[in-house]
Amino acid sequence: MLGKLICRSRLAAGVRAFSTGSRFYSNKLAPLDASRLQINKTSTPKHKLANDQLVFGKTFTDHMLEIEWDAQSGWGVPKISPYHNLSLDPSCAVFHYAFELFEGMKAYKDANGNVRTFRGDKNMERMNKSAERIALPTFDGEELIKLIDKLVLLDKDFVPEGAGYSLYLRPTMIGTQASLGVGIPSKALLYVIASPVGPYYPTGFKPVSLEATDYAVRAWPGGVGNRKLGANYAPCIKPQLEAASRGYHQNLWLFGEEGNVTEVGTMNAFFIFKDLITGKKELVTAPLDGTILEGVTRDSILELARTRLPAEEWEVSERYCTIHEIIEKATKGALVEAFGAGTAAVVSPIGNIGYQGKDIAIPLARGNSGEYTAKFADWIREIQYGEEEFQGWSRVCQ
Ligand SMILES: *Cc1c(COP(=O)(O)O)cnc(C)c1O
């Protein structure tokens, strides 16, 4: 109550104030407002690459979206302008203390030529949680969705057609205050760039081989592994290189004495087990306990599993399984399949897990993937491309 009163009086005085970690804005701070958008179109449109030339995240569309924020005035005028370099003072907070967060989402062209985004509201929710965690400004997610629509529609010709092809969208926020002082950034830049991308596996599924990693951890209790902060990713490259030197594609991140399986590379991990007596199956993924990234694909798979798989035959569990449980079940024939889930690949079949020098083969009932891995991939693709409506997950850009 006291905190509230203090904040009220500071708000009244027009001063930006803080109370128990949350940010209070004075009336003078402008909210993010899509209706203020200014567009400056390129006069030199880029050549568009053929589908088979697309490399993930290497080429970008003609335009980008930018919105500046500062602590005195709030969110500035949203601007769409030709894709360009940023000019930043070398002392900017982003370069020294990792004031950076990002999102990954995609826009898809449907059979009617409309462009659709998939569950962007979830990305906006997560982006705000990331911003809140590193004291960058939060914003009205619906307004950013409206602005992203405008960017996507302006660069609509860059959205490739065909199953597996899409426009990858990268909303990003950085602290831009020019100062080496470690503190709350007083300036920030939110921007969105877009890259036309092809299917993760152009020639169909390719099962990945994982090294169960216990000598390095991706995230820990009380840490920020559940937020999409740039700072979480660079430290994971060296363990990935080490795994690669032993012939594995990715790390299966373990945590704790028990060897809990957390995530795979930068995807959420799913396992399907079978009760050898009853035949009942269990879809398992790690719980959102603060160390797991809250994947939109993860959430989608759980929701589809709960609504579409027969409840008498399936259990859907958000629980930890350990590497030892996986080895034991694989040995007994009770491990049905395993896959990673994320926006880039949607689902990525797991074919092999190496742990302490031994390899465990994961069944691939359909040759390159398990049966349900392929089913989830199909279900999600049909919704993404607007072939099927499901709970309003796919939204036509307007
Ligand atoms: C982005 C990400 C995921 C997947 O999230 P999606 O929203 O499904 O793309 C999973 N794990 C990590 C560590 C990630 O960064």
**Closest to 254 measured CA to CA, from 297, 291, 222, 283:** 291
* DSSP letter assigned to residue 45: P
Is residue 64 within 8 A of residue 80, CB to CB? The reply is yes
pLDDT digits (tens, 9 = 90+) for 214-256: 999 999 999 999 999 999 999 999 999 999 999 999 999 999 9
What is d(CA 79, CA 82) in angstroms, rounded to the nearest whole number? 10
Q: Count CB atoms within 10 A of the CB of residue 279.
A: 8
Inter-helix orientation angle 296-308/120-133, to 10°:
140
Which atom of ligand 1 lies nearest, measured to the CA of 225? Answer: 13
* DSSP letter assigned to residue 362: P
Q: Quick check: helix, strand or coil at residue 246?
A: coil
Q: What is the reported pLDDT for 202?
A: 79
Tell me whether strands 100-102 and 38-39 are parallel, antiparallel or unpaired.
unpaired
Which atom of ligand 1 lies nearest, measured to the CA of 122? Answer: 7
pLDDT digits (tens, 9 = 90+) for 279-329: 999 999 999 999 999 999 999 999 999 999 999 999 999 999 999 999 999
CA of 293 to the centre of ligand 1 (A): 6
Residue where the block lists tokens 């080490």: 242
* DSSP letter assigned to residue 222: T
- Is the domain 208-384 a CATH 3.30.70.360 member? no
Q: Count CB atoms within 10 A of the CB of residue 97.
A: 16
Q: What is the reported pLDDT for 27?
A: 58
CATH number belonging to domain 8-197: 3.30.470.10
What is d(CA 343, CA 105) in angstroms, rounded to the nearest whole number? 6
Residue nearest to atom 13 of ligand 1 (CA): 266
CA of 45 to the centre of ligand 1 (A): 32
Which atom of ligand 1 lies nearest, measured to the CA of 268? Answer: 10
Q: Count CB atoms within 10 A of the CB of residue 342.
A: 21
CA of 209 to the centre of ligand 1 (A): 19
Which atom of ligand 1 lies nearest, measured to the CA of 105? Answer: 9
What is d(CA 184, CA 190) in angstroms, rounded to the nearest whole number? 16
Low-confidence ranges of the chain (pLDDT < 50): 1-22
H or E segment to which residue 104 belongs: none
Is residue 231 within 8 A of residue 100, CB to CB? The reply is yes
Q: What is the reported pLDDT for 14?
A: 38
Residue nearest to atom 14 of ligand 1 (CA): 266
User: Which alpha helices (DSSP H) does the chain contain, by range?
Assistant: 2-12, 93-97, 120-133, 141-154, 237-245, 296-308, 323-332, 371-384
Ligand 1-lining residues (CB < 6 angstroms): 104, 228, 263, 266-268, 293, 295-298, 342-343
What is d(CA 212, CA 296) in angstroms, rounded to the nearest whole number? 24
Is the Cα torsion angle 82, 84, 87, 88 positive or negative in sign? positive
Q: What is the reported pLDDT for 6?
A: 40
What is d(CA 120, CA 78) in angstroms, rounded to the nearest whole number? 18
pTM check: above 0.85: yes
Q: What is the reported pLDDT for 24?
A: 53
Query: What are the residue ranges spanned by the domains of the chain?
Result: 8-197, 208-384
What is d(CA 264, CA 11) in angstroms, rounded to the nearest whole number? 45
Residue nearest to atom 15 of ligand 1 (CA): 266
Q: Count CB atoms within 10 A of the CB of residue 233.
A: 13
Is residue 74 within 8 A of residue 25, CB to CB? The reply is yes
Is the Cα torsion angle 288, 289, 292, 293 positive or negative in sign? positive
Q: What is the reported pLDDT for 28?
A: 80
CA of 275 to the centre of ligand 1 (A): 29
